Amino acid sequence: MGVKKRKSHKILFLLIILSLLLLGCQGKAVDSDADLEAVVVNSAPTLIGAIMAPGESPYGYYNDLVREAIQRIGHRQGMQVTIIEAEDFLEKEETIDYFFQNRALYVFVNDPAYYDILSLENREDGTSFVMLFELLRSPSLDEEVEDDQLFPEEREDSLMVEEEGLSYWLEEQMEKIINQDQLIDNIE
């Protein structure tokens, strides 16, 4: 008799634990399409993007640096990164609409050809376009002439050090812009 009583206590105990687990696991039903959309939107990572300059333009020089910087930031902050090359879309409006439709937080623009179009944009959907080309100076021919005075190995080393420093500086500036926005959101 003692064995049956002990087994029934174990079964009763397990049933109570199981029922408590089942009660705690009940999910909240989604009431409307708006609630469903909120759940879906909140689960997607934040999008940041970049629009690259044509390779033959003066700002095309910075494309690799911009690409590396935005990918490192995206990886570090858990953001989705989309980079649009100059050749990807025929129309500038399509590129801009892509980032608006996908609710990009920031888009770093390295192509001055977008300046006129973006200065006319006045949408209030949370996407900010940063004119990155305004932070970067256009590589000038005068500097190249001075670099030609150096021996080939010295020129290569100085360019590599300059690009590496510029890459970190650029990444720091981009991250400050992103973090400033997140700080403002947290205060509100």
Where is 153: in which H helix or E strand? helix 152-187
Both structure tokens of 52 = 């690259």
Pair 48, 106: CB distance under 8 Å: yes
* Tens-place pLDDT, residues 94-149: 898 899 899 999 999 999 988 888 876 656 678 889 998 888 876 553 444 444 44
Residue ranges per structural domain of the chain: 43-187
pTM: 0.62
**Residue 106: closest CA among 135, 120, 132, 127:** 127
How many alpha carbons lie under 13 Å from residue 118 in its C-beta half-sphere? 21
Q: What is the DSSP letter of 47?
A: E
Superfamily the domain 43-187 falls into: Response regulator (3.40.50.2300)
Pair 63, 84: CB distance under 8 Å: no
Say yes or no to pLDDT of 29 above 60. Answer: no
Pair 159, 146: CB distance under 8 Å: no
Contacts 24+ apart (CB under 8 A), 41-46: 41/103, 44/80, 45/78, 45/79, 45/80, 46/77, 46/78, 46/79, 46/80, 46/105
Q: How sure is the predictor about 187, in pLDDT bands with cuts at 50, 70 and 90?
A: very low
